[in-house]
Structure 1
Amino acid sequence: MKVINTRTRDEIAKLRQQAYLAAWPAARQLEAQQDMLNGNPAKWERMRADFSAIRALYPYSDTTPSEEN
């Protein structure tokens, strides 16, 4: 018998949150948002790309990729 251990949605959410904050601390996220609102979306787009990579690294097992975005 093969046993497969899957993470719960809460566990994955916690892993994602930790990864988001490690890659982009809250102050840096706010800076990216402020820059985007001031007409410079470069940091915002980098942050979104990083967050997308994190979501791909920690996918929810019960959703398809199109449902997460």
Structure 2
Amino acid sequence: MVNAPKKNLSMKKVKITQVRSIIGRPERQKRTMAALGLRKMHQTVEHEQSPQVMGMIIKVRHLVRVEEV
């Protein structure tokens, strides 16, 4: 078997804070915020910086503040 590439154990993290309300937003944006773990204003979560998470952040970039950790 070929040696599998080692995963980078020190992946960058991003801190995501909800800064705008999701009231009146399209259902798709509400589901994206829930998938990120954001449900209340000024709530902050940390996620690994992966292509999936970055794609979700781009979709709701007008509702969140993002910082690298």
The structure carrying a bigger strand percent of its residues is 2
TM (norm. structure 2) is 0.31
TM (norm. structure 1) is 0.31
The structure carrying a bigger helix percent of its residues is 1
